[in-house]
């Protein structure tokens, strides 16, 4: 008889994220959780969650300082799950432009993070999303479920083209605030959300449970 093991998740601490709220939400969703910036622990965990709050360039600088760029790249090269939240999602793209200054991202996906064009910025509060019908991230969630966003920048265009019929195309979820923007992505072992699931009540808890169940 096999005995199931609780997945262990590292919330990567590089100085730019709500690590405590993420820790509590993941624990409630059924994971053993550790907050650390240690390279070896981040590499060994079943799942790695990369939060992010603040400016794109500052987050990238903080991540590189603790070799977080290597951690993400090495885990994904080995098919090991990584999830990014808020700016932790944005830095997965090629570049970010804030106040006219450009900074390189992790370049896991092509695309540019730029200012939201809306009457009210930041986009702060609850909003719905348009998820693919076969999404695993949003499995069991109603189309009118609402999620908590806090951001002034976003990815407005999905630029990755998947032409090989043997490669599964990423699942891209959208939301709208003044204009459409990427709200979440599922791409093999790499998942990410622009909103904060750890602050999104029951819907966010279900979403985190969906991720943990894949680990």
Q: What is the pLDDT of residues 76-98, one digit of tens each?
A: 999 999 999 999 999 999 999 99
- Identify the burial level of 26 via C-beta atoms within 10 angstroms of its C-beta, where 0-12 means exposed, 13-18 middle and 19 or more buried: buried
Task: Tell me 138's DSSP state.
Answer: T
3-class SS of residue 131: coil
User: Is 86 a known active-site residue?
Assistant: yes
Selected catalytic residue, list 23, 59, 86, 108 = 86
CA atoms within 13 A on the CB side of 1: 1
Per-residue pLDDT of the chain (215 residues; tens, 9 = 90+): 455 789 999 999 999 988 999 999 999 999 999 999 999 999 999 999 999 999 999 999 999 999 999 999 999 999 999 999 999 999 999 999 998 889 999 999 999 999 999 999 999 999 999 999 999 999 999 999 999 999 999 999 999 987 777 778 899 999 999 999 999 999 999 999 999 999 999 999 999 999 999 99
Rounded CA separation 49/47 (Å): 7
Q: Whole-model pTM above 0.85?
A: yes
User: Is 108 a known active-site residue?
Assistant: no
Selected catalytic residue, list 23, 108, 186, 198 = 198
The CATH-assigned architecture of domain 8-212 is: 3-Layer(aba) Sandwich (3.40)
108 and 92 Cβ atoms separated by less than 8 Å: yes
How much is the pLDDT for 3? Answer: 52
Selected catalytic residue, list 123, 151, 177, 196 = 196
* 89-121 per-residue burial string, b: 16 or more CB within 10 A, e: under 16: bbbbbbbbebeeeebebbebbebbbbebeeeee
- Locus of tokens 């990238």: 60
């Amino acid at each position: 008889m096999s005995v199931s093991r609780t997945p262990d998740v590292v919330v990567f601490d590089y100085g730019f994220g709500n690590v405590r709220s993420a820790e509590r939400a993941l624990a409630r969703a059924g994971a053993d959780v550790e907050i650390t910036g240690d390279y070896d622990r981040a590499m060994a965990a079943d799942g790695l969650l990369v939060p992010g709050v603040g400016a794109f360039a500052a987050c990238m600088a903080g991540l590189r300082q603790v070799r977080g760029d290597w951690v993400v790249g090495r885990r994904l090269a080995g098919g090991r799950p990584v999830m990014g939240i808020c700016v932790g999602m944005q830095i997965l793209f090629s570049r970010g432009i804030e106040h006219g200054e450009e900074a390189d991202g992790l370049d896991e996906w092509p695309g540019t993070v730029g200012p939201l064009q809306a009457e009210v910025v930041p986009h702060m509060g609850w909003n719905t999303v348009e998820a693919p019908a076969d999404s695993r991230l949003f499995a069991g969630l109603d189309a009118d479920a609402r999620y908590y966003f806090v951001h002034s920048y976003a990815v407005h265009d999905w630029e990755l083209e998947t032409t090989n019929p043997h490669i599964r195309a990423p699942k891209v979820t959208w939301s709208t605030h003044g204009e459409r923007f990427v709200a979440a992505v599922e791409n093999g072992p790499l998942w990410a959300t622009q909103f904060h699931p750890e602050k999104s009540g029951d819907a966010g808890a279900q979403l985190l449970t969906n991720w943990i169940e894949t680990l």
